[in-house]
Amino acid sequence: MQGVLAAFAIVACCASVAGCASRGQVGQVQEAGEGTYSIGVGSSHGLGTSSQENKATDAAIDKAGQYCHAKREKLLVTSAIGNVINFRCTADGPGGQN
């Protein structure tokens, strides 16, 4: 049983390290793929569970919007999972129209 628990602890540790490595850095836009970007939210408890976390999420979305607007494009948030917001910058609005 101890071997199973030790193996589980190692897997959990590796998974958490891998998860951190793939997350966007807090407050910094990073390219996540072709035309897709991510930005980390400055909270360690997930998105949207408190007023302080909502402010951190809003600040990250504002920064993502500034990034897209600097490119003369519009922000399209594609997902918000954990402490990472993924987004695209598009020339068109969300429905594909201006």
Domain ranges of the chain: 2-90
CB of 61 within 8 A of CB of 85? Answer: yes
pLDDT of residue 10: 35
Cα–Cα distance, 49 to 35 (Å, whole number): 29
CB of 62 within 8 A of CB of 97? Answer: no
Q: Report residue 24 as tokens.
A: 């966007």
List the one residue out of 61, 18, 31, 66 whose CA is nearest residue 43.
61
Cα–Cα distance, 87 to 53 (Å, whole number): 19
pLDDT of residue 60: 93
pLDDT of residue 7: 34
pLDDT of residue 21: 36
pLDDT averaged over 10-residue windows placed end to end, the chain, 98 residues: 38 34 69 93 62 86 96 95 93 58
